[in-house]
Amino acid sequence: MGTGAVLRTAALLGAAAIGALILGGAAAVARAQGATFTTLERGRYLVDAGDCAACHTAEGGKSMAGGRPIPTPFGTIYSTNITPDKETGIGNWTDEEFYKAMHDGIGPGGKRYYPAFPYPWYTKLSAEDVRAIKAYLDAIPAVRQKDEPPDLPWPLTIRKVMAIWNALYFRAATYQPNPAKSAAWNRGAYLVDGLGHCGACHTPKNILGAPKWDEHLAGGFGEHWYAMSLTSDPRDGLGAWSEQEIVEYLKTGSIAKAAAAGPMAEVVQNSTQHLSDADLKAIATYLKDLPGGGRVAGAAPTKIDSAAMAHGKSLYLDQCTGCHLEEGTGIAEVFPPLKGSAAVQAKDPATVLEAMIDGATVVATAAKPTGLAMPAFGWKLNDSELADLATYIRNAWGNQASAVTRGQVSKARKESQQSAAK
């Protein structure tokens, strides 16, 4: 190439990108058998809102081709290929079959799904939305990748067993608007309790892994992180958050009082940052109308051992004040405060312990690309130090939460190691 080549290359790059768009668009429309661009766009948006990629795209894997291990208390399940490949994906499914999977948790041929696939939430979706999702999934590139069988103990390997589970805990029902509430509230409820399946993590589960519907969004587990209560409890729920703060958190990944890390970082990354402001406002409207967490608030503070507090405080001054400052206030928008933090005062200290042991990285979003990170302390603090430090931050500066035991730290450490090994 002679002079002018750099310029030419730049121009070529641009031309190639435009070409790819046109070709990609044409192929997609062909595969979707005439689905309109609006339907496809709607489907794409709904797939983002449903955070399908969180499970159906494996780390480093092809988009929506499945194969991501989903740890459950019963064993590991692998997400499935939902690309339009005819043999290994859902390319041969009819719209009706797809709807039945989403609405009833039953695939073609009567194959019953495990509720790690959040059909107990997706059942609320309108038929129109499910059709749009299917149209979009039909339009993405097909990937030939066989599903992996779940790694579960008998009798859970027998999928028919799930019929009993469904009979006990599942009711198929499309979302019915509450006429007493606003349109925004209803849209929020549809997104939170349907497509967004927030309760899959934020609602506690019983011993059989079923959501405790009467403790709706009162805090549960997402992998081994504790997903905080979304109730209006001012201490460990969203009581102290304004609607605008909820919107900003979901859009950008952080606000002055909190930052998304762990599984919630993925939710913001793949899903909520892409939602429209109107939908985020609707979510906030609905969440702020949830009852105060009175009946399900974090365990009433037990008497906190003063020796543990003193030990925790000395560790805090040495290890934590560089970012979170002496009064636990953090630095607005940069280092989250511990004082008044719902995540810190959560009923279960798992999230705080996970962050302390392994460190945590705030989600990098289009609006806030930095990905600020907290380093790991698990290598330098032992179980009893971490326990006292966690107890201290959960009870200093007006915070109130149960004391943390060495046993809890040791359990969190094991879970974090297991998760790292995967």
Q: What is the Cα–Cα distance from 133 to 248, expressed in whole angstroms?
A: 26
**15: contact with other proteins by CB under 8 A:** no
Q: Tell me: does residue 19 bind other proteins (CB under 8 A).
A: no
Cβ atoms within 10 Å, residue 147: 15
- Distance between CA atoms of residues 66 and 364, nearest Å: 24
Closer Cβ to other proteins, 182 or 321, answer by number: 321
Residue 420 binds to other proteins (criterion: CB under 8 A)? no
CA distances from 367 to 45, 52, 362, 370 (A): 18, 22, 13, 9
- Sign of the four-CA dihedral 235, 238, 241, 245: positive
* Interface pick for other proteins out of 4, 149, 153, 294 (rule CB under 8 A): 4
Smallest separation, CB 331 to other proteins (Å): 5
Evaluate the omega torsion of the peptide bond into residue 118 and state whether it is cis, within 30 degrees of 0.
no
Site membership for other proteins, residue 335 (CB under 8 A): yes
Q: Is residue 244 a contact residue for other proteins (CB under 8 A)?
A: no
Q: What is the dihedral of CA 93, 99, 102, 107, to 10 degrees?
A: -40
DSSP state of 71: E
Residue 106 phi/psi, 5° resolution? -125, 120
- Residues numbered 380 to 399 that lie near other proteins (CB under 8 A) are 380
356-375: which residues touch other proteins (CB under 8 A)?
359, 361, 364, 367-375
CB of 26 to other proteins, least distance (A): 23
Closest CB to other proteins among residues 120, 336: 336
Min dist. Cβ of residue 395 to other proteins (A): 23
What is 80-145 written as a DSSP string? ---SS-TTTSSTT--HHHHHHHHHHSB-GGGPBPPTTS-HHHHTTS-HHHHHHHHHHHHHSPP---
Nearer to other proteins by C-beta: 305 or 333?
333
- If one asks whether residue 377 binds other proteins (CB under 8 A), the answer comes out as yes
Nearer to other proteins, 10 or 26 (CB): 10
Q: Is the Cβ of residue 7 or residue 307 nearer to other proteins in the bound state? A: 7
Stretch that binds other proteins, among 113-121, 218-226, 321-329, 339-347 (CB under 8 A): 321-329
Binding site for other proteins (CB under 8 A): 1, 3-7, 9-10, 13-14, 319, 321-323, 331-335, 359, 361, 364, 367-377, 380
